Amino acid sequence: ALRSKVLRRATNIFERSSLEAGAKLLEEAVKSSDGSNPTEFTSFSEEKNRQSYVSQQAALEGLEDVNGVDDDGLPLVYSVERIAKFWDTKPGELAERWSRFLRISTPFITRFFYSLLNGRLWEDEASLASQAVDNMQELGPTFVKLGQVLSIRPDVLPPKTMKELARLQDDIETFSNEEARKVIEKEMGKPVDEIFSSFSEEPIAAASLAQVYRATLRETGEEVAVKVQRPGALSTVSKDLYVLRRLADVVQPLIRRFTADETDYIALTETFAEGLYTELDFRNEALNALRMEELLKESLGESSLEKIIIPRPLMPLTTRRVMLSQWVNGVKLSTLPKEEIKELIAIGQEVFLTQLLDIGFFHGDPHPGNLLKITEGEDAGKLCLLDFGLVAQVPRKDRDIIVSAVVHLGTQNWEALIEDFQELGFLSEDTDKDALV
């Protein structure tokens, strides 16, 4: 018993010293990175100033200047170079955020690497996931959004981690109603009481980037949902994306040095950053919703269209930070009994497969909070799709290859399936087919 106690004590000391050493190593690695712009990621070097679909649409509609900036000088369209240039002129603010990020995240990152290098990831998964979610909540909206994106990826993350990340879909801290009213009045140019005859005292729902109120338009009497962006969201998000990008620059070489993982985390960071930055302009979300409704009307049959609803945005009353849309009464699918969920599975599959394989324009954030079953009114029983802030396009060529891959998977034609994956860029051209088959 004494020997066992001594061994446990020695192990605890070793683990603690390893974690402390790892934390110091990470901190020094970050500090040693020079003050230059984040490194270019090689996979998409020719697309370093990529402009997303929604930004293109906004430009076409005359809503967006791709080189525009806000009152503080922050770019309104995502560009890693321009964001880096902005924050490099504010070393004090950046250093403060770096310090907070390192203080909160370093213990988790070092624990993760310790578990990875010692073959304990499965054993430590639950506690690591819980710690990661706590860190995301403490770090704020950017990291909460990152967790929400990961929470709908069972193909990437194991069940225990998914369960912990699901906490980020509901347990979101709200900001004050006074702040929300100030945002509305600044964006709309009028007092809230002049625009609405009624306005809920508390938010009906809260998300990582915004919260929603129920209101009635004074002029028309129409009941609407009012989505209000968190104050200072652009500044906070852009700063965090800069931090994440610099972190990817530091961590990716370490991962490749100590593991066989060849994932391009810098490219993944850029993709996430572009999508999140685009979500900060609610006019893009409104345009996406209108476009999706139009495309689905062209592609779905009448009987299927009668089973879904996309709340109609009110474009004349939608700005960068405030969005008005048709009010609907519904409940999240995740809160329904299994029998009711089953009733909506068929139409849900049809709608999302149509988006992906037919029209090539799909909802990129279908977590449970964005899928409702309508419970009242003439649309009762319908599947409701919310929040089109994050969408993506799939070119026709890629859609055809995806269909081909599904066929080859069903027929167990593994060699053809590997070729499909190579054409899609999932596998490199020099992949050893024989070894995979």
Which is catalytic among the residues 281, 365, 387, 420?
365
Token pair belonging to 66: 């791709």
Q: What is the dihedral of CA 201, 204, 207, 209, to 10 degrees?
A: -40
The 10 Å CB-count burial string (b at 16+, else e) for 352-391 is: eebbbebbbbbbbbbbbbbbbbbeeeebeebbbbbbbbbb
Helix, strand, coil share of the chain (percent; to 5): 60, 10, 30
Residue 365 designated active-site: yes
Contact 424, 398 (CB under 8 A): yes
Residue with structure tokens 């009028």? 190
Q: What is the pLDDT of residue 16?
A: 47
Compute the half-sphere exposure of residue 390: CA atoms within 13 Å on the CB side of its CA. 17
pLDDT at 56 over 60: no
Task: Look at 208 and 347; give whichever has higher pLDDT.
Answer: 347
Average pLDDT over residues 301-326: 95
Q: What is the pLDDT of residue 63?
A: 54
Task: Name the percent of the chain lying above pLDDT 90.
Answer: 40
pLDDT at 23 over 70: no
Going by pLDDT thresholds of 50, 70 and 90, the confidence category of residue 299 is very high
Q: What is the pLDDT of residue 250?
A: 81
Nearest Cα neighbor of 30 from 216, 239, 243 is 243
Give the pTM.
Answer: 0.79
Strand partners, 272: none
Contact 85, 230 (CB under 8 A): no
